[in-house]
Chain A
Amino acid sequence: MTTSPSEPGAPRARNTRDDTYDLAVVGAGSAGLAGAVTAAGLGLSVALLDASAHTGGQFYRHPAPALGAVRPEALHHDWSAFSDLRRRLAESSVTHLSGHHVWSTVPEADGTWTVHAVTGADGAAERPARVRARALLLATGAYERQLPFPGWTLPGVVGAGGAQAMLKSGLVLPGRRIVVAGSGPLLLAVASSLAAAGARVPAVVEAAGYLRYARSPRALVTNPRKAAEALVHGAALLRHRVRVLPGRAVTEVHGTDRVEAVTVSRLDGDWRPLPGTGRRIACDALAVGHGLVPQIELATAVGCATRPLPDGTLGLALDDLQETSVAGLWAAGETGGVGGAELARTEGEVAGIAIAARLRGRQGATGRTAGLRRRRDRMRAFADVMATAHAPGPGWTAWLDDDTDVCRCEEVPAGRVREAVADLGARDARTVKLLTRAGMGWCQGRMCGTAVACLAARDGVAEPPSERRPFAVPVSLAALAALEGTADTPHPEAP
């Protein structure tokens, strides 16, 4: 049976060499769940660490049992795939460590890995935890990419994925009349969820054009499930009379202490707003996002190679069996490039089989995974089409005014970033950060990283943000102090 610690602050974490797991999986979304149950099914001892109290990751985020949702699938696509993984987890020997926020993974001299986590709902519980394992699978998913615009810090402006997450888990909406804007396929899913849950959605404002998909007909016809998913969302939007406005962006939010309206402008092919095209839409909330960014800092911290993706983000460079450039460290799902839950599940399964083969000293993972890898490659091809279609155009920075805060944490306006670039000679995001504090706050540049990189690039092509964060999540000094003297102690920590 799955062991789930009753209190997040007192995990049944094994810390000793005798108690080393075969595999530690970080992230209990589609990729991590699939990897964990596949590896356990092949006889490995597996620890599955995840920050949330519940499995499912962001895509299958769902209400806590106390909310008594009889039909959680009403807010989901392909819910049966998740309920199947959840059942397999419950029937497995996997140790599920919920409420574990992994902040570092360390390769040890003997070839094993130590996974460090802080615990509790938000990582504020006093006791840190450590897990030792012979192999590591990172399935840490993605976070939402944001591009700033005047007014984006007003209450009522929320991430599109954030609105979806709050709806899926808390059954709440940020307003009654919600404009959905940005770029990427997630917007259609978010708009149809919000509308189904009772919100009025006056418009979905998509900066790109959907016609770019038509340039890659092969990827479309070989991924009929993706086309079907788009049709489902499209039909839902028609039913709720939601207008989709391609080639446009929200270029300003109006309101003093909360959202009252947005201005939507037409864009040219480079996403530069066309003067005089602004049109005001009344609303009390805006759900906005510009695609997803692979969450890879645990991997980059130990030197894993990355690859630039067509949408301007970085993903991990992986071999045909999902291993990173660092031996013993595998990755699956969005960490290798954003491609959705079905792709993540497939990659998790490939990784689980490959890891079991490696630890058992057997060949044959290549043969056993041939079918899975063909499906993976087909879905990856589609993911590349999506990423290309929704890559931000370089002209988007024209909708910033100098007073727009680019860094939400440190309240650094675009004018100061431009000054650092134009007058002080900054050429990259790191120098801008040192000169302005942009990216130096609590979120460690997750919200402003893309914007700062674009502004620092002047007229050249922006380098993808490096996604380097020595601490993947903030760690209290108390949690660090608790590590002192116990790092190599071959005894379990006192409960």
Chain B
Amino acid sequence: MARTPADLVGARPDPPFEITFDGRRVTALPGQTVAAALWGAGILAWRTTRDGGRPRGAFCGIGQCYDCLATVNGEPNRRACLVPARPGDAITTQEGHGHDHLAV
């Protein structure tokens, strides 16, 4: 009986690559979104809310809920469940609306 999703579909992926999440190395497979790569590493939260500072991650999984917003290579408000992971991507936890550096 299959034990992993990859076993189930007989996946023979192209070679994996590395991205980072808050500086920590995470292995991603080509064709995975940022959110899928993070789930694959057991990471479920990569954003904190504006008011409560509560952790959030992918919820709807199809680009509708915007809970999975992440900062990708310095750019905030990217939907991690839609954006493909690329070798060397630096994913960082998005705090609040992601534009704190613009605050005056």
Contacts and interface: CB of A to CB of B under 8 A. Distances in A.
Query: Are A and B bound to each other?
Result: yes
Interface of A: 51, 53, 58, 63-72, 74-75, 121-122, 124, 143-144, 153, 155-159, 161-167, 169-174, 196-198, 257-258, 285, 408-409, 411, 441-443, 446-447
Nearest to B50: A411
Contact of B30 (A66, A74, A124, A258): A66
B40 interface: yes
Given A143-B64, A161-B60, A121 B83 contact: yes
B7 interface: yes
Contacts of B100: none
Contact of B59 (A124, A172, A408, A411): A408
B62 A162 contact: yes
B1 to A, nearest CB: 8
B4 A447 contact: no
A300 B86 CA distance: 37
B10 A70 contact: yes
A411 B7 contact: no
Contacts of A70: 9-12
Nearest to A408: B67
Interface in B43-68: 44-45, 49-52, 54-67
Interface in B5-57: 5-14, 29-33, 35-37, 39-40, 44-45, 49-52, 54-57
B39 A63 contact: no
A162 B64 CA distance: 10
A19 to B, nearest CB: 29
B81 interface: yes
A68 to B, nearest CB: 4
B2 interface: yes
A166 B58 contact: yes
Which 7 residue pairs are nearest across A and B when measured between Cβ atoms? A170-B36, A162-B61, A64-B31, A70-B10, A442-B66, A66-B31, A66-B30
B56 A172 contact: no
Interface string B64-89: 11110100000100110111100000
Interface residues of B, dominant DSSP? loop
17 contacts: A63-B9, A67-B11, A67-B13, A74-B10, A124-B75, A143-B60, A153-B54, A155-B44, A170-B39, A170-B40, A171-B11, A172-B40, A173-B5, A408-B59, A409-B67, A443-B64, A443-B66
Contacts of B49: 411
A408 B65 contact: yes
Interface of B: 2-14, 29-33, 35-37, 39-40, 44-45, 49-52, 54-67, 69, 75, 78-79, 81-84
Nearest to B6: A171
Contacts of A285: 44
B61 A197 contact: no
A68 B13 contact: yes
Residue among B4, B36, B62 with most chain A CB within 10 A: B62
A166 B36 contact: yes
Residue among A121, A122, A166 with most chain B CB within 10 A: A122
Given A68-B13, A171-B36, A197-B8, A257 B55 contact: yes
Given A196-B2, A411-B49, A161 B78 contact: no
A71 B32 CA distance: 17
A174 B51 CA distance: 25
Nearest to B15: A66
A68 B44 contact: no
Contact of A64 (B12, B30, B35, B78): B30
Nearest to B9: A69
Contacts of B13: 66-68
Contacts of A122: 63, 78-79, 82-83
A155 B47 CA distance: 10
B30 A158 contact: no
Contacts of B83: 121-122
B65 A446 contact: yes
Given A67-B31, A155-B56, A172-B40, A198 B4 contact: yes
Contacts of A411: 49-52, 54
Given A171-B6, A443-B65, 9 more contacts: A67-B14, A69-B10, A74-B8, A121-B84, A162-B81, A166-B81, A169-B33, A198-B2, A198-B4
Residue among B8, B13, B81 with most chain A CB within 10 A: B8
Given A74-B9, A170-B33, A172-B32, A162 B82 contact: no
